[in-house]
Structure 1
Amino acid sequence: MSKGTLLVTRDGPVATVLLSNPGRRNTLTARMWREFAVVLAPLAEDPDVLVVIIRGDGEDFSAGADISDLKAILHNPDNGLHDGGDVTAGEEAIAAFPKPVIAAVDGYCLGGAWQVAGACDFRLASDRAVFGITPAKIGIVYPLSGIERLVRLAGPGAAKYLLFSGDFVPAEQALRLGLVERVIPQADFWTDVASFAHRLAGRSQLSLQAMKELVDIIAFVGTEGAGHSGRNALEQASNRWQEEMAAAADPGIGVRAFLAKEDPVFTWTGPGRTQANITDDSLQHEEEAR
């Protein structure tokens, strides 16, 4: 049985998590699903890591959960999860990561690999990428967390089409269905992915992390649909981030750079880590900029 592993590399503020199971199209073993939480935890705490890319090792993103390991993956009694086992645990570790995560999909992204891609903030696909969500082909029920994300991204009709048929769809069709945000010519793919990641790394991490949390609450918890509790969760998170912004230097840095027509160099690295306040002068400049 292939062991497989997740490998981490660094390019300045951008970390790459490599799905590596050579010779098996990077199928994801039980060990690999469990490794997501292990490898992402230190990246979340590292103030020098601002963006994460998840990609496959070689020509494919991943052909999904390792079928030879499927029983262990879906029914691991040690993780306390009744739906999806290690798959759901790995998916949720990605979704809970506080910084931007990009799925860079080249080649095949099949079965459980969609749960990896779906849990990321962005899905960038090369024009040779192929997607397929295939539980009906092997007689299993796709984990609820994966179905929920698929429905929210693609809608119920497209979700049923993909889940029921198990059809493989090319990148351009995946774009039309809402599975990916961009399709990039393969010749330019890795250059464009790296450029996008570094562009995000240059933005205010205060802005990115705050808005990531707020968008996710709206998308996955809801506001009106979830009733009073959903609205409360959204308002509490928004208030907390407004307080963080009031104590951070990033707004002042951004305003001064905008007025000077310079690129800002933001300093916020995490909640409670920045002590400088926005100055009255910065606020005045902000009003003038408006």
Structure 2
Amino acid sequence: MSTTTATGGSVEVSQSGAIATLTLSNPGRRNTMTEAMWLALEPACTELADDGSVRAVVVRGAGTDFSAGADISDLRAILRDEESGRHDGGAVAAGEAALAGLHKPTIAAVEGYCLGGAWQIAAACDIRLASSDATFGITPAKIGIVYPTAGIERLVRIAGPATAKYLLFSGDFVDAEQARVLGLVQAVHPAEDFWDEVDAFAQRLAARSQLSIQAMKDIVDTIDSAGGGADCGVELAQANEHWQQLMATSGDAEAGVGAFLAKRAPEFSWNGGRDTQRRAGAGGPIT
């Protein structure tokens, strides 16, 4: 599909059938992310959102590592927020938000190192699968910086405050099984079978009703971001109304129920674009 090239690295989008793969590539540097690579995530996600043939997205690193995180030599530029002048996210936050806001199901496939800012990329995906040889670490305390607020917030929501403090304070590396126990990943697969398992899982998601997946992604994210209370109830009611209306017209329910009664595999055709979404993006305005 496309490649956005940066100095010493690129973000590549490829496709096989209904599965798109977004690959982080910085050869010889464990796919460390330059500023241009972080900024390339947003147009890559826009391309994926607009392609009706894509039903699931796998995010991975080139070669045998996911990514060793942000390019330290480029760190001040990467983290600088031009509006506030603070070093509290910048290109990292923009890339993370773009990936989290993609309405299609996303899978982070992590082998080798997933360190520092690379965790923000993995965490922005819906589901994280790890190879048994994967290593995770969130390391701002090792270099004297404050991790971007958006990344801390997402880490707390995924793993809880105690685990977030343990990882952020220590900067310690954890292996794949420890990461699973801590709630960072949903499954760990043997290294020799990893990519077969990733492909099989992505194919299962692509075969499911995208109306169901996209609706439930919106609803889960609404519950997660609203944190309960009256505002959450209002948003959930809006979400329910929006998706109930789409369910009535998408054709997926008829296809699924008919296939179930006929004892055959369903063929779901709906894969609504951004214009069918209730939100402009993760944390974006209700539309």
Does TM, normalized by the shorter one, top 0.5? yes
The letter of the residue matching 1:207 is S
Which residue is 2:205 aligned to?
Answer: 200
Worse-superposed segment, 117-126 or 141-150: 141-150
Deviation at 1:263, TM superposition (A): 0.4
RMSD of aligned alpha carbons? 1.8
Which residue is 2:243 aligned to?
Answer: 241
Partners of 2:103 and 2:274 within 8 A in 1: no
Which residue is 2:61 aligned to?
Answer: 56
Which residue is 1:110 aligned to?
Answer: 115
Q: 2:90 aligns with which of 85, 88, 96?
A: 85
Deviation at 1:116, TM superposition (A): 0.2
Which residue is 2:280 aligned to?
Answer: none
Deviation at 1:222, TM superposition (A): 2.2
Unaligned runs of 5+ in 1: 275-290
Q: 2:44 aligns with which of 39, 42, 53?
A: 39
Distance 1:9 1:272, change over 3 A: closer
Worse-superposed segment, 69-78 or 117-126: 69-78
- Separation in structure 2 between the aligned mates of residue 175 and residue 167 of structure 1, nearest angstrom: 15
| CA deviation vs aligned residue, 1:82-107 (integer Å, no higher than 9, x gap) | 73111000000000000000000000
User: SS state of the match for residue 203, structure 2?
Assistant: helix
Which residue is 1:279 aligned to?
Answer: none
- Separation in structure 2 between the aligned mates of residue 272 and residue 89 of structure 1, nearest angstrom: 18
Large movers: runs of 4+ above 4 Å: 78-82, 271-274
User: SS state of the match for residue 255, structure 1?
Assistant: helix
Deviation at 1:229, TM superposition (A): 2.4
User: SS state of the match for residue 19, structure 1?
Assistant: strand
TM-score in terms of structure 2 length:
0.91
Equivalence map 1:1-290=2 (5 Å): 2-77=7-82, 83-224=88-229, 228-270=230-272
**Looking at CA atoms only, which structure, 1 or 2, has the larger radius of gyration?**
1
- Separation in structure 1 between the aligned mates of residue 219 and residue 96 of structure 2, nearest angstrom: 19
Partners of 1:79 and 1:86 within 8 A in 2: no
- Separation in structure 2 between the aligned mates of residue 79 and residue 260 of structure 1, nearest angstrom: 59
| CA deviation vs aligned residue, 1:197-230 (integer Å, no higher than 9, x gap) | 0110000000000000100111122222xxx223
Which residue is 1:283 aligned to?
Answer: none
Deviation at 1:273, TM superposition (A): 8.9
- Separation in structure 2 between the aligned mates of residue 16 and residue 256 of structure 1, nearest angstrom: 32
- How high is the sequence identity, in percent, across the aligned residues? 59
Deviation at 1:34, TM superposition (A): 0.5
- Separation in structure 2 between the aligned mates of residue 54 and residue 80 of structure 1, nearest angstrom: 30
Partners of 1:134 and 1:163 within 8 A in 2: yes
- Separation in structure 1 between the aligned mates of residue 201 and residue 107 of structure 2, nearest angstrom: 9
User: SS state of the match for residue 17, structure 1?
Assistant: strand
Partners of 1:222 and 1:231 within 8 A in 2: no
Deviation at 1:272, TM superposition (A): 9.9
- Separation in structure 2 between the aligned mates of residue 272 and residue 235 of structure 1, nearest angstrom: 20
The letter of the residue matching 2:164 is A
User: SS state of the match for residue 157, structure 1?
Assistant: helix
Which residue is 2:282 aligned to?
Answer: none
- Separation in structure 1 between the aligned mates of residue 219 and residue 260 of structure 2, nearest angstrom: 25
